[in-house]
Structure 1
Amino acid sequence: MYAILDIESTGGKYNEEGIIEIAVHRFDGHEVVDTFISLVNPEREVQPYVAKLTGINSRMLKTAPKFHEVAKRIVEITEGAVLVAHNAQFDYRILRTEFRRLGYDFQRKTLCTVDLSKRLLPDAESHSLGKLVRSLGIPVSDRHRANGDALATLKLFQLLLAKDTDKTIVKDLVRAETLGELSPRQLDIVEEMPQETGVYYLHNRDGDIIYIGKSKNIKRKVNQHFTNGSKWARNLQKETRRVTFEKTGSELAALLKEYEEIKKNTPPYNTKKAYNGFSYGVYAYKDPNGFLALKAERANGQLKRLSSFGSLKATKSFLKQLAEQHDLTKKKSPNEHNAKIKGLLKKYSTQNRDIVLTDKGRKIGERSVFLIKNGCLEGYGFVDLNHQINNIHILESLITPMKGDAHTTHIIESYLRKEKTLKIVELKQ
């Protein structure tokens, strides 16, 4: 027996969310035998982005039943059933949190259609619910409402059950009752984590670092480590006794710091990756008519690199994007056209340049800075005042040295393509 579930929540701080709508379809493997759908008064504010996404606002929920009024019905319709949801970890956590507030230990086995679809539909372009059902021709209405998404999940689940002819995958993916739920020690660890950008470190009982990661939301990422059901994650969970972190404010700082510290510490749970820098790039050449032309090529030390890439496909995709966004046709004069290309080189390239990149800091008024000399990263740090950036001697004393290489160049140029960096400062010679 299965209980196909979808929950819409208020959003907000982790483990402080409330349910605003729930839909459950009890499914015996052949047909739906019971259904429960209801708005729920969460007794807390609905976040604006949730209201915009779902169309459900706090005013609509004032007369809706509170969770304690629907809790018994939820227990009954899910009794003896496996909870099935798209991203079941989220729905199960929210549901258990609500029951915990009532002093009730709600436990069910769970099955995630994201996991199942990845195994049975590995060639799907996306495994998000909306894109996946659309690609399969499954009709869906009331997207981002509990019943609309629950019915879409039900139809998807029926298709996946039919594809799972030997039934071994379903058995493998049914999780233990407490999976997705944290132990008291893990709850304490997660509670101490910030919902901010930075690098985090998982330690074993001896204090040794066994895993290093980075995230734009450290709390959420650490929680995911503790609720992941893979064999690798379960082993990591067993060994982890403490988690420490360092805020970076900047995502670029987190990316570089993670790379540098994994190299130095070689934690056993970090996948051994071959960091080969970059294999391809967009390069500028002058054609016979005096126009600078951009080409996607394998990297071999050419000059006038616009940006670096790990694959030819990504290189060509970016080149096409540039041509469309900046109208890189040869209709204008060579001088005007070439000025545009040189402007793009300054915007995206670090090759042979002495520059400082500035990004957001760890707090208001602070900025992170990245010193690059002759195209190579020298280090990063944090500043509060402009003169600390403009005075190279002060800047060099403030930064934490980092040994730049082809991979750090690739990280930085990839970040520049996202156009998140606040400013590029040319160093005065």
Structure 2
Amino acid sequence: MLYAVVDIETTGNGYKGQKITEISALIFDGKKIVDEFTSLVNPEQNIPTFITNLTGITNAMVRNAPKFYEVAKKIEEITKGTIFVAHNVNFDYNIIQAEFKSLGYDFKRKKLCTVRLTRKIIPGLPSYSLGNICSGENIPINGRHRAKGDAEATVELFRRLLERDDNFTINSFLNPRSRQATLPPLLDKIVVDKLPETFGVYYFKNLAKEVIYVGKANNIKQRVISHFYDKKKKEQTMCLETADVSFTKTGSELLALLLESSEIKHIYPKFNRAQRRAGEAVGLFSYEDQKGIIHLAYNRLKLAPNAIMKYYSVAECRTHLESLCAEFELCPKYCHLQTNVSSCFHYQLKECKGICCDKETVENYNVRVREAIKSVGIGAENLVIKEKGRIKNEVGFALILDGIYKGIGYLDASQDEVLKTPEEYQFFVAPKKDNRDVQRIIASYLKKKEKLKALENGEISI
């Protein structure tokens, strides 16, 4: 069996923009190196100063070096029929594969990761970086952070791993059904194997046990594994840091969405961006003027009386308000999207058919405003949304009191039968903060449920 032990140096501009500056492929038969190819590569882009400081490779050094397309055939030929081996194999393999893809060629090889192999064959090391492993194993690195120097050190490490592999670990890693080659280098396969295939929230953790990402899933195991196949820069970077995955079962998608949202705002993980914003700053509210026309307006949250909905910014509020205007044919003037005007913009275009042009009655206009208000958020009612529990004979629920989200909880089915009012459920709830995101999640759920009910009753058709 032949192995292509590979190392590359790159421009370091993220997975999508990262280009190879040097490559070394050493063909190893398990005992000795039988062939090799090493070359600088012109990345056709600038090498950042910090990368030059790390590798010693300068723009001048690669200026007259061959471009990747000029060395691609040699790399394809020398690695053909071999098993691709690298320290943190997905990094080197994915970048080389991307370079080939840009040339219209699909580069595919079986893979082995010496980080994962070392963790299995030599467990308990404080660090599995190439430098630290080689230091502990007294393996010299002649040219750290240069392709050939690191590749030669990886060959020697791999040779020792082959010698110590009494449990046929390498063979098991090469099994097509094993996901070892696609798993993050720091993550044990046992952790993934133990993940449940059910609704819930999962937590990616780094070596320091810090939560770096929170996600929700209808199938926890399936969703977690999908991250490892994602080629996006954020996903790749996150997976490289992932050393453990924990989870919480929820019983339903709605409860998973609500728990995910509150966990993100509580933990503030570095790889969650969409929901980890600061508290809401703007409130949407309504009022009636002297003519009886209902206005929609917005202001800073402290100055918005009985806010219908809360937002993180004025821009977010205005965008939502504009969509309400379009959906319910409301007047921009009376939604305070156009200020200091006697009539709305539609009037100037002679398209206005609404109230500001006296084309309809106040009563008719207000009906649509009330419909728009009803569509926003979850109203001011008391509500218990019941879902499936995590186990048999358990009821999961989300609690809303006076239009404010209180949290989620679980009850034995027999306990649930005893409770009569929404207020009684608050003693069984895990308290959570109300915010724009949970309001959006619940409103969307209720709207979908209402639509399904209408379909079942034949009130609407698709």
Instruction: Report the TM-score range of the alignment, normalised by the length of the smaller protein.
Output: 0.3 to 0.5
Q: Which has the larger radius of gyration?
A: 2
TM-score, normalised relative to structure 1: 0.47
TM-score, normalised relative to structure 2: 0.45
